Structure formats: C-alpha cells, structure tokens
Chains A and B, each alone.
Chain A
Amino acid sequence: QSALTQPASVSGSPGQSIAISCTGTSSDVGGYNRVSWYQQHPGKAPKLIIHEVSNRASGVSDRFSGSKSGNTASLTISGLQADDEADYYCSSYTSSITWVFGGGTKVTVL
C-alpha cells in the first residue's frame, strides 16, 4: 500500500487560510469516507483533528475543516495562528482492510 501524497510544506501568515491536499486512489481516499487528519507538534503524539472526511474531533476549533473530491481530500485551516505550526498527516481506510498515512505536511506560520 503506497503512502498518500501530501505537499511537503505549506506556509501562511497569521490570519490567512491555507489548504493541504491528500491524494490517494479509488482503493483508499476515493473509495471510502474514512479519511482523517492528524496534527503533530514536535516531540508529541499525533492528535486527531478531522475524521470521516469533514467531522471535527471533540474540542477541535472550527477553524479546521475537511473535504473530499474524488481521490483527493483536503484540510483547510482558516485564521492561521502561531500554534497551528505543526506537521499534518492525512490517513485513509483502504480496500486491504488497513490504514494508510500520507507523508506529512509541515505547516509554517510566517
């Protein structure tokens, strides 16, 4: 199972909106609505922020939103804040009854 494709880095200024893409295939992202997004700060465990494409996890700010079109899912962060600077990973259920992760995107707040 190949990793999902994410951009290596995305940056934005405070207050701006950014989007991170996550491209898979019809055997994972395109075939299931079990796409999730994780935020990971340095030295910390991953934190679930979005599940089932667009559902925010408990306690997550509404500045985070998710969507999907075909084989590509996206995470949008609006009103970018300093604490949003972290690595973000997408993940999807697959037809092999496994989970697959993206390579990760480093978000930098300028």
Chain B
Amino acid sequence: QVQLLQPGGEAKEPGASVRVSCKTSGFAFTNYGVSWVRQAPGQGLEWVGHISADSRHTYSAQSLQGRLTLTRDTSTSTAYMDLTRLTSDDTAIYYCGRDTGTAAGDYWGQGTLVTVSS
C-alpha cells in the first residue's frame, strides 16, 4: 500500500534550519511529484512547495522563496524539505503528499511538527 512516512517532530531555535524527510513506499516514486503543505496551530492548510517527478523542477510559495529547498533521492524513495532562517511563524505541522498533477496529494504523510522557539 502507498505510504509516506515522516518523523514526528523537530525543535529548532530561531535562525536555525530544519530538514524534514518523507520516505515513500508502495508506488513508483519516479512517477510522481511531491508536494509539501504546512498547517500552523489552529490554522488552515498552506501550500509550501512542489518538486517534480524527475527532480528537474521545483516550485515554492512566494512567501518562502529563498529559504526553501526541495530535493528527492531516488535510491531511497525519499523526499526532503529544507527550510532555513526559521522564525516562530514557521512553527507548523509539515505534510508531504504524493502529487498526481491533478491534486497536490492523493496520499499524505502523517506530518512533522516543527517547533521554532528560543
């Protein structure tokens, strides 16, 4: 079955960087893009970015441009999200999704809580 596995949480100080992994299984990783969305406490879903199936193209929310890097490792079927210069506004649950091209995600990971606090 399709699975996207994410770590449970990361605690970071302001100004630090975070890497969130998304290990996939149960489908042909090279056939799908990966989208990332985040959800701040008590708030709605916010699209973060997308990496294409062949890794050639990445797109990010305008508010995060310059701080967000999306990559993927075909050998381990894992996608990564790197976010730098963290502030308290980045505190959120970050979800990775299998992007079909017609939906940001038909399957989603369980989410990684990134907490930014001094």
Contacts and interface: CB of A to CB of B under 8 A. Distances in A.
Query: Do the two chains belong together in a single complex?
Result: yes
A46 B95 contact: yes
B106 A101 contact: no
Size band of the interface chain B makes with A: 20 to 34
Among all A-B residue pairs, the 7 with the closest Cβ atoms? A104-B44, A36-B103, A45-B108, A99-B104, A51-B103, A99-B47, A101-B45
Given A45-B95, A89-B44, A99 B106 contact: no
B50 interface: yes
Contacts of B45: 38, 40, 46, 89, 91, 101, 104
A12 B42 CA distance: 23
Interface residues of A, number: 26
Interface of B: 35, 37, 44-47, 50, 59, 61-62, 95, 97, 100-111
A84 interface: no
B101 to A, nearest CB: 8
A69 interface: no
Contact of B50 (A47, A52, A98): A98
A45 B109 contact: yes
